[in-house]
Amino acid sequence: MAGTRSWRLTPPPWRGTPRARTARFVAVSALAGCVVAAGAVGAAGPWDGGQRRAERERAAAGPAAGRDGAGRPVRPAAPPVLAALGGRATAPLPGRDGLAGALDGLLKDSALGAQTSAAVVDVATGQQLYGADQDTAYTPASTIKTATAAAALAALGPDHRIETTAVADGDTVVLVGGGDPTLTARPAGEGTPPAASLKELADATARGLKARGKGRVKVAYDTSRYSGPALHAIGPNENIAPVSALMVDEGRLDDSDHGPADRTTDPAGDAARKFAGMLRDAGVDVDGDPAAGRAGGTAERLASVSSPPLSALVERTLTNSDNDIAEALARQTALASGQPADFEGAARAVIARLEKLGLPLPGARIADGSGLDRADHVSAAFLAGLLARAADPERPELRPVLTGLPVAGFSGTLSGRYGPEAAGRGLVRAKTGTLTGVNTLSGTVVDADGRLLSFAFMTMDAPSGPTAQEALDRLATTVAGCGCR
């Protein structure tokens, strides 16, 4: 990743601010905005297609209105909620020696164990500014989700939606899964992430049947869009349901929408049974129990519902480290690439898309989309370079990879890290990765001079997960606070 590229980031709104005040402005504006928006970000989530809803609403609201000379209400420009992802391409670069002086000692912290790697990249140029064993491929755990997300966005675009369809095949209604794990059987409620509704699909299907004079049907379900084993290599697990082209609420057996939960062993069958019950509630008689099947070539489309846009699914995946959506993104990438929609086909498709993005892949291996598989291997240079590429103005479709990153101390998997007194609170945006003995952190910061940097820190065989995470957080905070020239 050494060298420079011709693309540049758009300067942020405070371009004219004197450099001597940049660090104070960035920190104060970011933290002040986070205090106001923290509750909204945590509750509402970032499901707004490339821009966090809480950030957008805060920006729209702005400070208290004043009056112009004619007595008309006016609002001054709103301050940023968080340090802008754009940073300042004109801000001075941190020096390699300065970064080494700041980070080398921290990487030797015994809390990280003996195997560590690190990379820091200047986002505006793609230049690697710091590296320590940065080209060695390590197990990334959930930080691999940034790669899955980038591949899906490159293959399908941020506006792509996953469709679930009901078709009439003679006297049978076939529920055809498209691969949307967020399809929901729950009633819409305030604060819940937007999702395609199984009830809306059932109600529309019932109307279509009645219009055709059909009041009694059988129900079948079609999962043929996906192939291969449904179970992840880790086996039945509370962190992921069997991967299916048809499921509702990620196969969760409670009312949660993220995090570990008991999962159904038959996601497609459960979804179809709920769909059949909803058809009955809508006045359609359903004979027997739903059965697995496939829609015939002459089946007639009755109704469909669509997932939120891919940009929102990516943000939800990264913020909550959602394994089910991550595996769905990998399979959608496979389908868009002409590969079988199974674990192996998805891995090939993701690698191919990453190669087209020009990312460093020596030693890389991708075994799944979620990072639950320890066979995944990528380097710190790859992870940091990927985030720099996601900020490339010539790749706007990749932007949700950045906007979906958790915010230190406030959202997603970083909400419980970086306490109230932590210097990096509200300044670090990063994807976490955690397996037993594996701890990783990859994200972005705006440094003390206003320069946007991406970073990746990886460690294996640390003696304690929590203390390793604290050490990783200190590394990210050090990059954020460093002018390092």
Catalytic, 145? Answer: yes
Rounded CA-CA distance 107/475 in Å is 8
User: What is the C-alpha R_g of the chain?
Assistant: 24
Which token pair is 24?
Answer: 């104070």
218 is catalytic: no
CA distance 39 to 336: 37
CA-wise closest residue to 344 among 328, 357, 331? 331
Choice among 29, 117, 142, 442 that is catalytic: 142
**Measured distance between the N- and C-terminal CA atoms of the chain, rounded to whole angstroms:** 21
Catalytic residue among 145, 199, 274, 431: 145
Beta carbons within 10 angstroms of residue 130's beta carbon: 26
Say how far apart CA 399 and CA 83 lie, in whole Å: 16
Q: What is the number of alpha carbons within 13 Å of residue 98 lying toward its C-beta?
A: 14
Instruction: Given the residues 29, 117, 307, 321, select the one marked as catalytic.
Output: 321
Alpha carbon 320 to its chain centroid, in Å, reads 7
- Alpha carbon distance 380, 392 (integer Å): 19
Would you state the structure tokens that stand for residue 58, as one six-digit string?
């805060």
Residue 298 vs residues 170, 301, 386: alpha-carbon distances, Å: 9, 9, 44
Cα–Cα nearest to 94, from 414, 457, 446, 398 = 446
> With contact defined as beta carbons under 8 Å apart, do 311 and 153 qualify?
yes
Residues annotated as catalytic are 142, 145, 321
